[in-house]
A and B are shown apart, each in its own frame.
Chain A
Amino acid sequence: MTPLFFALAAQAADPEVIDRIPSGFSPFVLPFTIGVAFMFSWIGVGLIRLLAAIPKSDRIKFAKSLFIPKTALKNLKDLFCDCLFHTKIWQRKPLLGYMHSAIAFGWFMIIILGHIEVALFVPARLNVTRGGLFYPIFYRYFVWMNPGHTTLRGSFFFFLMDFFLLYILSGIALAIFKRFRSIVLGMRHTTKPSFADRVALYSLWLIFPLRLLAESFTADLSGGSFLTVPVNHFWHLIFGDKLWFMPTWWAYSICLGLFFAAMPFSRYMHILTEVLWILLRNAGVKPNHPRKGVAEAEIYACSSCGLCLDACPMNVQKKNLKFSSVYFIRFLRRHNEKKINDIAEKCLMCDKCHALCPVGVDAPSLRRAQRATVNNALPYDYSYLSTASGSTLAGETHATLGTVRGGTGASLCEASGGAERSEAVARPRVLPEATNKVLYFAGCMTHLTPRIIKSVEKVFNAAGVDYAFADRDGGICCGRPLMLAGKTEAAAAVIEANKKMIEKSGCDTLVLSCPICYKIFKEEYGLEGIKVVHYTQFINELIAAGKLNVQNKGERLVYHDPCELGRGCGVYFEPRAALGKVGNLVKASKEYDESICCGGSLGSLTLDTKDRSKISEASLDSLLANDPQTIVTACPLCLKTFSEAVAKTKKGDLNVSVKDFAEVLCP
């Protein structure tokens, strides 16, 4: 008698958790299971299609990258930071970051912890054939706590589950709040959801409150912690002993099912696609079509978070909101050709949306690819370049390079003493031999702003730089404007011609005074053995090496980061370092990678003068935030745009001058 009793007691006492339903199944799990199965098969097919669409070399590159330790480590880091913690959003908008990470990380943890619990307490149920797909999700429904046998370990999991549920719920509360009052989370504009977005959105809002309801209804049987247990007591207080928990579990499962079924058609697809996009991105695989192959992963990785709405300089006017990257990507997904093209052509290609995008979606590149599908085939003829530039241009440069020597040396800068005397620019005189071969390429835009050429030459002469002027009498375009217009093949022809000229010149350093030129020379030309520098970098080096003497006059300067130089090439430090030596740098309200395009960008094909001047005003406002005396920029286009914008402003008391970087350094 006694042994039997003990045996029974021991058996009953041993398991902490009792598997309540022997079959491990209840019909309410069906909506969820169907939804999730549908989503996974959809994604599986999509993944195979996508991998089939990218070129074989890219596929191999991608597969290899997964096994390179450095890339793998970066993948891991990016997956955690971008997908779960959303660190990029935290950095800019902490509250918004909290919201995103609460939902993403909290949900991730609940899924993981659910599986751990099952693995610890009812390991057999992890098997797919025994309910592994849904059991860990509805764990609390299927089990009973063995009263009086809860261990610390069990309570620990109860606590964690409740903790993360609360964490998610706080995120959801913020999300609901944001829908109605987006400005509180630091967003002026928020995206308009589509139909599938709405289905997914509302079910997402409901999922976790329903989970709380369902779990709290069963908390006295299946256990709970600081959140579910008190709520359970509360229900008992209201409804007495009869709690109808079945409907709440059904509702919870239906919401989950709806969410997963709507997911492939909604913006929430990004939760999974983002993973693939990060892997592809880190593998260095680049899209070559705006929609197919890699681009597909990229456009579906966009979460429609809408951060690019506020980022975009075009959106100083509300009517231009529709040209933002988020809508561009939405229309790419929907194959709406007319709208895609309109949006693709409008953009300034300032790259700000790319820099600020939490998922790193490079919408400007996709736009360029889109433009190429339309414009690449337009009939133009560049055959003249091979003869014109290959022989005459390069020939001239070759003859002059190495035989031209700067003028009067370092004293020139002080000699001119800030007075506007053009004769202070000494004409380069001819010297027989030169060792340091510097080639200066001004580019089309700089030729329209001769004051930049004048000052650059003044700096070169003051610092005693040996240089040759590649396009003193005019050259050809660098090719970037063609590239931005989507005429990739034409750009290649221009690049080829310029490259020939430069290589023939025998220079070892190429100095550019236009950021547009700088970007393409650096990225596309592949000039081997030639150092390509922007003049801000070059002049900063001259100062550091003591070749150029500068004096700090204490003038209040504000520096404008040109798009192509800052975001485009990551040059933020050098211009500021040099300017800090001649004046007192003050801050703009938006600077570094948040700097606002001046509005003059060649990137936009269709933006008209009126819209552009609105952008210039906004950019100017940001620069004037701290009351500078001089606006300094390092791009001929910015210089021209700002000069005109300042001249045009109605504010009569606006007492600010616009100067080029070289002008400020060597007045």
Chain B
Amino acid sequence: MVDFGFGLVPSSRINLDLFDKEKYDELLSIEPDARICMACGSCTAVCTAGKFVHTSLREAMEDIFNAKPDKALETLRACQLCGKCSMVCPRGINTRHLIMSITKVYSKK
């Protein structure tokens, strides 16, 4: 078969019924600023770890809203907590704490 470079895209369906409100509230209780992220992507642009492996706080935040917390954890695994993102975040979010809080809350099964 000739490979034309086309293929089936993995499902990108978002099922909001799966959204875990309890966990999200827990996250908000330890880092209330989680709700003010405007997905600008500044954090991702400067990310130290992002130079080597796919790392993105912006995406992780979206994954959480899209009920895909495991994907969020995956995109933050390589974070070095260097703090560059907190210096550029236009919303003044304490991103390091946000990242640690996401890991803390969502890695509990």
Contact = CB atoms under 8 A, between A and B. Distances in A.
Contacts of A445: 82-84, 87
A577 interface: no
Contacts of A477: 48, 80-82
26 contacts: A345-B97, A378-B103, A378-B104, A379-B77, A379-B107, A380-B76, A380-B78, A381-B77, A384-B52, A388-B51, A389-B52, A445-B83, A447-B84, A448-B46, A448-B84, A476-B48, A476-B49, A477-B48, A477-B80, A479-B80, A481-B80, A490-B81, A605-B97, A608-B94, A609-B92, A609-B94
A262 interface: no
Contacts of B97: 345, 605-606
A477 B82 CA distance: 6
Contacts of A600: 87
A640 B48 contact: no
Contact of B48 (A474, A490, A606, A607): A474
B96 interface: yes
A474 B46 CA distance: 10
Contacts of A637: 87
Contact of B96 (A382, A389, A475, A602): A602
A482 B80 contact: yes
A414 B51 CA distance: 37
A394 interface: no
Interface residues of A, number: 35
Interface of B: 33, 46, 48-49, 51-53, 73, 76-84, 87-88, 92, 94, 96-97, 100, 103-104, 107
B103 A379 contact: yes
B81 A481 contact: yes
A380 B79 contact: yes
A388 B87 CA distance: 25
Contacts of B81: 477, 481-482, 485, 487, 490
B100 A375 contact: yes
B78 A481 contact: no
A447 B85 CA distance: 12
Given A380-B76, A605-B94, 12 more contacts: A388-B53, A389-B52, A474-B48, A476-B80, A490-B81, A600-B87, A602-B96, A605-B97, A607-B94, A608-B94, A609-B92, A637-B87
Contact of A448 (B33, B51, B87): B87
Contacts of A476: 48-49, 52, 80
Contacts of A609: 92, 94
B17 to A, nearest CB: 26
A178 to B, nearest CB: 38
Contacts of B49: 476
Given A384-B53, A476-B48, A481 B83 contact: yes
Nearest to B77: A381
Interface string A466-510: 000000001111010110010100100010000000000000000
Contacts of A487: 81
Given A380-B79, A384-B53, A448-B87, A608 B100 contact: no
A382 B78 contact: yes
Nearest to B91: A609
Contact of A388 (B33, B46, B52, B88): B52
